[in-house]
Amino acid sequence: MRPLAISLGIALAVATVTVLLGTLSALGIERGLSARAATVANLVLMLPLLFPTVVAAAAFYIAFAEIRLTDSVLGILLAHVTIALPFVHAIVAANLRTLNPSFERAAASLGAGTWAQLRRILLPLLANGIAVGAFFAFLTSFDEASISVFLSGIHVKTLPRRMYEALSVESDPTIGVIAVLSMTVALILITIHAAIRRRRRAPRESAHD
């Protein structure tokens, strides 16, 4: 139960941090840079996805060992944010590209400042994309095994690290139950998200009819 609590806490923190950073980066790049500069910035933010997770985990271990961030919640959190941020940024940026900038210009012409445009125009329209990004960030952190094996230790042990130990050095059948429960929780979350999207879409479809 303790590794489960640690993994849930880290995953929630990763989802929160990546949603904040990913949303801000998407807004800054898509609304503040030219097309060529935005392409370069997007490629730079996608770089963590190009490295195999085992290689990234080993690199994190070498870097964090020198500053004593191994076997710590902060070290795992920073590593998970690094690999989860591209997912959130890509999803929010894709949703932002579908929005018509005339909405923001119309709000500005009516006296709305930057914060008002963000709070009353952009964030409500991007809510679905932000929610999907948060969900992917949560699952990425919760299920990440390679980084957890490298960075977890005696004091901080995540659920994937505990499952790895149960498979490699123990013969505990409990691991099967945990795996089934994890898949069931993920399936439930996906079903809830699909139901919410269907419910939000129904009034729009009836209005068009």
> 3-state SS string over 143-177?
HCCHHHHHHCCCCCCCHHHHHHHHHHCCCCCHHHH
- Residue 15 CB coordination number (10 Å): 24
**Can you give the pTM of this predicted structure?**
0.78
Sign of the CA dihedral 104, 110, 114, 117?
Answer: negative
Instruction: Fill in the amino acid letter for 190.
Output: I
The position carrying tokens 């890509």 is 90
Q: Which CATH number fits domain 2-172: 3.40.50.970, 3.40.309.10, 3.65.10.10, 1.10.3720.10?
A: 1.10.3720.10
The span from the CA of 134 to the CA of 20, in Å, is: 10
| Distant-in-sequence, close-in-space partners of 141: CB < 8 Å, separation ≥ 6 | 7, 10, 11, 14, 15, 80, 84
**What local confidence, expressed as pLDDT, does residue 205 receive?**
55
**What local confidence, expressed as pLDDT, does residue 21 receive?**
94
Cβ atoms 59, 150 nearer than 8 A: no
Instruction: Dig out the tokens for 137 from the structure.
Output: 């960030």
DSSP H/E element including 66 = helix 53-66
**What local confidence, expressed as pLDDT, does residue 128 receive?**
83
3-state secondary structure of 209: coil
For 112: left if phi > 0, alpha if psi spans -120 to 50, otherwise beta; the answer is: beta
Sign of the CA dihedral 177, 179, 181, 183?
Answer: negative
Domain positions in the chain: 2-172
Cβ atoms 41, 26 nearer than 8 A: no
**What local confidence, expressed as pLDDT, does residue 12 receive?**
93
Cβ atoms 10, 72 nearer than 8 A: no
Inter-helix orientation angle 53-66/73-97, to 10° = 130
Instruction: Fill in the amino acid letter for 182.
Output: S
The span from the CA of 162 to the CA of 152, in Å, is: 9
**What local confidence, expressed as pLDDT, does residue 27 receive?**
86
Going residue by residue through the chain, which has 209 residues, state the pLDDT in tens, using 9 for 90 and above: 788 888 889 999 999 999 999 999 988 888 878 888 888 888 888 888 888 888 888 999 999 988 888 888 899 999 999 999 999 999 998 888 888 777 777 777 777 777 777 777 788 888 888 888 898 899 888 888 888 888 887 788 887 777 777 777 666 677 777 778 777 877 887 787 777 777 766 655 555 55
